[in-house]
A and B are shown apart, each in its own frame.
Chain A
Amino acid sequence: MSDQQLQNLIKMINQISINNLHHGDEDKAADVVATHIRKFWARSMKQQIIDYAESDGIELSAVSRLAVKRLAEPQEA
């Protein structure tokens, strides 16, 4: 993974978050963001952002961080 690639993923998720802030509270917004990423991001991209959130995560917005946490949790059937 290159720095550029990670930077782009961080930019993307923060952009998704900021465009979904209107869904009431941060929890709700994070749900929407997590659903969006589950639906549209490739496996490798999801893994990269999860790894980043777990190791550092400083550049993730609050909603993005919550969303990534949801991604890392095993999905209910």
Chain B
Amino acid sequence: MLQYFDPGKSGLNPDIDYGTPPSESETLVSVSIDGTDISVPEGTSVLRAAALAGITIPKLCASDNLEAFGSCRMCAVEIEGRRGYPASCTTPVAEGMSVTTQNGKLAKLRRNIMELYISDHPLDCLTCPANGNCELQDVAGAVGLREVRYGFDGENHLDADVDDSNPYFSFDPSKCIVCSRCVRACEEVQGTFALTIEGRGFESKVSAGQSEPFMDSECVSCGACVQACPTSTLMEKSVIEAGQPEHSVVTTCAYCGVGCSFKAEMKGDQLVRMVPYKGGDANHGHSCVKGRFAFGYATHKDRIREPMIRDSINEPWRTVSWDEAIGFAAKRLKDTQAKYGRESIGGITSSRCTNEETYLVQKLIRAAFGNNNTDTCARVCHSPTGFGLKTTIGESAGTQTFDSVMKADTIVVIGANPTDAHPVFGSQMRRRLRQGAKLIVIDPRRIDLLKTPHGSEGIHLPLRPGTNVAMVNALAHVIVTEGLEDKAFIEGRCEPEQYRAWRDFIVEERNSPEAMEAVTGVPAELVRKAARIYGEARNGAIYYGLGVTEHSQGSTMVMGIANLAMATGNLGREGVGVNPLRGQNNVQGSCDMGSFPHELPGYQHVGDPNVRERFEGDWGVSIDPEPGLRIPNMFDAAIAGTFKAMYVQGEDIAQSDPNTQHVEAALTSLDCLIVQDIFLNETAKFAHVLLPGSTFLEKNGTFTNAERRINRVRKVMAPVAGMEDWEVTMALSNALGYPMHYRHPSEIMDEIARLTPTFTGVSYEKLDRLGSIQWPCNEEHPDGTPTMHVLDFPIGRGKFAVTEYVASEEKTNRKFPLLLTTGRILSQYNVGAQTRRTENSRWHEEDVLEIHPSDAELRGIHDGDWLGISSRVGRTVLRAKVSDRMLPGVVYTTFHHPGSGANVITTDSSDWATNCPEYKVTAVQVEKVTQPSEWQRHFRQFDERQHELLTPAAANAETSDATAIK
């Protein structure tokens, strides 16, 4: 007999649709299907049981990512001892059940149903975009439909209008069979509830919003409906244009820290569409508008296709061979060091590049540059997570899998906006909220998660920007003083001395919600209510984002969150934990790979002689025992004239770092700036060497997502300039005289595994076999570690930290009476270099300033007005959007467009422990203006000039020879 214990996991083929979702039951039930005996978990549908036994029952409205619906009746079966022909999708198995899936009566029944469907379906199969991949066509074939007795002259829907409003997919209702799969996908998979079946009987039709075009409805363009559609009613425009793909490669998305697995569906080397991969454990077959649709940037005309050099930034770029560009860069670096010393150069690794590439850049800096001046963009996002979590629970990483949220009873979201910034995980959270989990949101802004359709009512603590630590202390005060602590956990798992010190501090009256109300602006009773809900939950899980870290007390707040989880025993099992939501695809990986100036890969301090000895033995060089410069220190040193050259791989510090004018001053002070990127980004406009980067589609490697999951990135097309990014770093290293000879990124991973205790069990062979691995993966955990800290912490016992609230120096006053906070939106990604070069810009053509109605009224501001926003460091101009999502006194904007100059106004105030910039708090004044700011006018001129300098180089471009240098 066939036995299935855990459907949905082991042994299942992600390319097969098993018809209905798996049952979680551990009780097995034995049934016989067409004479094949099989035992499956109780609650499994007959349709799924048959599929598990290898028996295909025709179906149209069923799919294993949607609850059974029973509308198409195509999956009817005969069950011994039962009357009629029940739908196998809605019929659960029962012990001893005997099922027949094929006989004369069933065949006739199915053929008759199909005949009805086809009587109102166009017969244009040969010219239909779904041809070759149409479930309706397949089922018609399977049931042997040969004629349609009703003719095609009756009333029908064949003239229904096509809705082409969405840039990525079309909606052709004439092809619709009203199976409701799209509507259910929008509800169950995405959780947006934008689609509905409107009308009844023959009038039934799929409708977006209130019978609106898709673009005008609340549809978020995730594409779950397109993927669910069994016909060509909802179809990717890329497939309509190119035809069906002929092969596919499983790879990992290069947008946010969720790290979705995708099948890149190809036609030769042309990417036709991205389909989220059901076998991906981070996303289980779901995706967002960025990952599924916004891949056009990879083949955009703006790609840098040739290496280029110039002596000064006022000169035109010269297109050169790889050899010449690398030679030029190496000579400049060596000359700089000869003149200004070993520590006068450094580099920045990329959180968008692979682990292997990041590892190689920091190795190049430590081994070939001979210093530790390496940093990464995590400096400006999650460096406080590294510091805060390492100090308290011993490891710089989130504690859970994403799936763990499905066991959480209370979900706390602090300074994060998952439905926009981590949409696929946002959908999963919403699924759990629909099941009844409670929600607490701590954020100055009312995020969309708070209006989850059919979700439980959430508590919103709309605190003043910069007061997180006051809030977390108030919450902890309630937990401790109201007896909500988990004493057993604290005694068994935490350092008693530190706990006592923390407890003495937190019970002080000055930390009570009542005392902190004046600081946070949130009513004490609401804070008490939230603390009780978290403290009393069986499983309480905390998720946080940059609204926690990007503050002057970012690290303190991370420790405060860890304190809260330890005090309530919410660590070490599923459904709980402390979970940083990472911004970029490989922020976790870039931190793991030793990008920070004080840490070698695996968070091993450079000052530790034992650690250094292992690396020195493997690398054959001596490593500087002192930490190097962080990004802001590099800028300061550049302006001071002691830091003169920089290698920047895949980062746009000129746009993404705070106080733009300070950054620009630093970049113009450099004698040699080497930028490796796919576009002429803002930083590259200050560069002397421009090396073409490769997109995630053009290389092999791995990304590590926010749940520590190492996923394979697989090459589906050749790099535009012939070199993958790791090969470029290798060439530069060789030119500098430090030899590197990797033939494939797998060899780099083998080296990482050799030197990093949490990676010793990782290899490409194992990744291919298991699909993905969550580190630590070593002798103790050979298949990885989904949940961390189950028995103990890497530092033994957990360490409570005293988290004194210290107000930010960035304060409002009469001159700057408003607080600006920044964030991101769904359709754009970070600095927008990729998404601005796709149709995603249709949703967000410019950054706007959200301002509360009362602040707007005071200043006579209306929607669409030009607003001058000034801070202590700069001034920019944006359009107004009046919105009550923030409290009065708080204004909000995004930073996706360089010309907006959001970072012209952000200051260099930063986290005390890590120098992570305080993007989330800037005191500003806002007033109506009629023209762009001086910086913006300068930006436009400089931007135009730099594009002119690029044009002749691009026009003379010849194919450069990458093979010679490899």
Residues on A facing B (Cβ under 8 Å): 1-2, 4-5, 8, 12, 15-16, 18-19, 21-23, 36, 38-45
Distance of B303 from chain A, by nearest CB (Å): 36
Q: Which residue of B lies closest to A15 (CB)?
A: B912
Within B611-634, the residues touching A (CB, 8 Å) are: 626-630, 632-633
CA gap between A3 and B416 in the complex, in Å: 37
The reply to whether A16 and B639 form a contact with Cβ atoms under 8 Å apart is no
Distance of B394 from chain A, by nearest CB (Å): 16
6 A–B contacts, CB within 8 A, in A order: A2-B641, A12-B912, A16-B912, A16-B913, A42-B628, A45-B629
A16, A18, A22, A42: the one contacting B629 at CB < 8 Å is: A42
The reply to whether B552 and A41 form a contact with Cβ atoms under 8 Å apart is no
The reply to whether B806 and A42 form a contact with Cβ atoms under 8 Å apart is no
A residues near B912, Cβ cutoff 8 Å: 12, 15-16, 18-19
A residues near B636, Cβ cutoff 8 Å: 2, 4-5, 8
Q: Which residue of A lies closest to B555 (CB)?
A: A19
Classify the secondary structure of B's interface with A.
loop
Distance of B170 from chain A, by nearest CB (Å): 54
Distance of A62 from chain B, by nearest CB (Å): 16
Distance of A16 from chain B, by nearest CB (Å): 5
B residues near A43, Cβ cutoff 8 Å: 343, 626-627
Within B369-383, the residues touching A (CB, 8 Å) are: 372-373
The reply to whether B633 and A1 form a contact with Cβ atoms under 8 Å apart is no
B553 is an interface residue with CB less than 8 A from chain A: yes
B residues near A39, Cβ cutoff 8 Å: 598, 605, 607, 627
The reply to whether B913 and A19 form a contact with Cβ atoms under 8 Å apart is yes
A1, A21, A36, A44: the one contacting B913 at CB < 8 Å is: A36
A19, A36, A38: the one contacting B804 at CB < 8 Å is: A19
Q: Which residue of B lies closest to A3 (CB)?
A: B640
B949 is an interface residue with CB less than 8 A from chain A: no
B597 is an interface residue with CB less than 8 A from chain A: yes
Distance of A61 from chain B, by nearest CB (Å): 13
Q: What 13 new A-B contacts, CB under 8 Å, besides A8-B632, A42-B630? A: A2-B639, A4-B636, A8-B636, A8-B908, A12-B912, A12-B915, A40-B598, A42-B373, A42-B597, A42-B626, A42-B633, A43-B627, A44-B629
B802 is an interface residue with CB less than 8 A from chain A: yes
Q: Which residue of A lies closest to B505 (CB)?
A: A22
B637 is an interface residue with CB less than 8 A from chain A: yes
CA gap between A16 and B626 in the complex, in Å: 19
The reply to whether B804 and A21 form a contact with Cβ atoms under 8 Å apart is yes
Distance of B61 from chain A, by nearest CB (Å): 59
A residues near B642, Cβ cutoff 8 Å: 1, 44
CA gap between A2 and B665 in the complex, in Å: 13
B residues near A19, Cβ cutoff 8 Å: 553, 556, 804, 806, 912-913
B906-920 interface bits toward A, Cβ cutoff 8 Å, 1 = contact, 0 = none: 001000111100000
5 smallest A-B Cβ distances: which pairs? Answer: A2-B640, A43-B626, A15-B912, A5-B636, A19-B912
A residues near B372, Cβ cutoff 8 Å: 42
The reply to whether A4 and B639 form a contact with Cβ atoms under 8 Å apart is yes
Choose among B633, B639, B914 the residue with the greatest number of A CB atoms under 10 Å from its CB: B633
A residues near B605, Cβ cutoff 8 Å: 39
Distance of A18 from chain B, by nearest CB (Å): 6
B residues near A4, Cβ cutoff 8 Å: 636, 639-640
CA gap between A12 and B629 in the complex, in Å: 14
CA gap between A36 and B639 in the complex, in Å: 25
CA gap between A2 and B669 in the complex, in Å: 13
A residues near B597, Cβ cutoff 8 Å: 42
Q: How large is the interface on B (under 10, 10 to 19, 20 to 34, 35 or more residues)?
A: 20 to 34
Distance of B558 from chain A, by nearest CB (Å): 13
Distance of B830 from chain A, by nearest CB (Å): 26
The reply to whether A5 and B637 form a contact with Cβ atoms under 8 Å apart is yes
A residues near B641, Cβ cutoff 8 Å: 2
B361-375 interface bits toward A, Cβ cutoff 8 Å, 1 = contact, 0 = none: 000000000001100
A residues near B343, Cβ cutoff 8 Å: 42-44
Distance of B32 from chain A, by nearest CB (Å): 67
CA gap between A22 and B502 in the complex, in Å: 10
Within B895-931, the residues touching A (CB, 8 Å) are: 908, 912-915
Distance of B646 from chain A, by nearest CB (Å): 15
CA gap between A32 and B552 in the complex, in Å: 18
CA gap between A39 and B597 in the complex, in Å: 10
The reply to whether A41 and B556 form a contact with Cβ atoms under 8 Å apart is no
Distance of A64 from chain B, by nearest CB (Å): 12
Q: Which residue of A lies closest to B597 (CB)?
A: A42
B residues near A12, Cβ cutoff 8 Å: 912, 915
A residues near B556, Cβ cutoff 8 Å: 19
CA gap between A18 and B552 in the complex, in Å: 12
B residues near A15, Cβ cutoff 8 Å: 552, 912
CA gap between A22 and B802 in the complex, in Å: 7
Choose among A18, A22, A39, A42 the residue with the greatest number of B CB atoms under 10 Å from its CB: A42
CA gap between A36 and B913 in the complex, in Å: 8
Distance of B448 from chain A, by nearest CB (Å): 33
Q: Which residue of A lies closest to B662 (CB)?
A: A4
CA gap between A42 and B632 in the complex, in Å: 12
Given the interface pairs A15-B552, A19-B913, A39-B627, the reply to whether A44 lies near B804 with Cβ below 8 Å is: no
B residues near A41, Cβ cutoff 8 Å: 627
CA gap between A45 and B912 in the complex, in Å: 15
Choose among A2, A16, A36 the residue with the greatest number of B CB atoms under 10 Å from its CB: A2
Distance of A41 from chain B, by nearest CB (Å): 6
CA gap between A45 and B632 in the complex, in Å: 12
CA gap between A1 and B636 in the complex, in Å: 9
Distance of B741 from chain A, by nearest CB (Å): 31
Given the interface pairs A1-B640, A1-B642, the reply to whether A45 lies near B553 with Cβ below 8 Å is: no
The reply to whether A22 and B804 form a contact with Cβ atoms under 8 Å apart is yes
B residues near A36, Cβ cutoff 8 Å: 913
A22, A23, A42: the one contacting B627 at CB < 8 Å is: A42
Q: Which residue of B lies closest to A42 (CB)?
A: B629
The reply to whether B802 and A45 form a contact with Cβ atoms under 8 Å apart is no
Q: Which residue of A lies closest to B802 (CB)?
A: A22
The reply to whether A40 and B637 form a contact with Cβ atoms under 8 Å apart is no
Distance of A48 from chain B, by nearest CB (Å): 9
Distance of B810 from chain A, by nearest CB (Å): 12
B332-374 interface bits toward A, Cβ cutoff 8 Å, 1 = contact, 0 = none: 0000000000010000000000000000000000000000110
CA gap between A57 and B914 in the complex, in Å: 23
CA gap between A2 and B635 in the complex, in Å: 12
Distance of A29 from chain B, by nearest CB (Å): 11
Q: Which residue of B lies closest to A18 (CB)?
A: B806
CA gap between A8 and B915 in the complex, in Å: 11
CA gap between A2 and B598 in the complex, in Å: 24
A residues near B640, Cβ cutoff 8 Å: 1-2, 4-5
B residues near A38, Cβ cutoff 8 Å: 607
B residues near A16, Cβ cutoff 8 Å: 912-913
Distance of A74 from chain B, by nearest CB (Å): 15
CA gap between A35 and B641 in the complex, in Å: 28
Choose among B372, B553, B637 the residue with the greatest number of A CB atoms under 10 Å from its CB: B637
Distance of A24 from chain B, by nearest CB (Å): 9
CA gap between A26 and B627 in the complex, in Å: 26
CA gap between A4 and B553 in the complex, in Å: 22
A2, A21, A45: the one contacting B633 at CB < 8 Å is: A45
A residues near B804, Cβ cutoff 8 Å: 19, 21-22
The reply to whether B639 and A5 form a contact with Cβ atoms under 8 Å apart is yes
Distance of B217 from chain A, by nearest CB (Å): 48
Within B869-903, the residues touching A (CB, 8 Å) are: none
CA gap between A1 and B641 in the complex, in Å: 8
Distance of A5 from chain B, by nearest CB (Å): 4
CA gap between A39 and B603 in the complex, in Å: 13
CA gap between A18 and B804 in the complex, in Å: 9
B residues near A21, Cβ cutoff 8 Å: 804
CA gap between A23 and B502 in the complex, in Å: 11
CA gap between A45 and B633 in the complex, in Å: 8
Q: Which residue of A lies closest to B552 (CB)?
A: A15
CA gap between A22 and B913 in the complex, in Å: 15
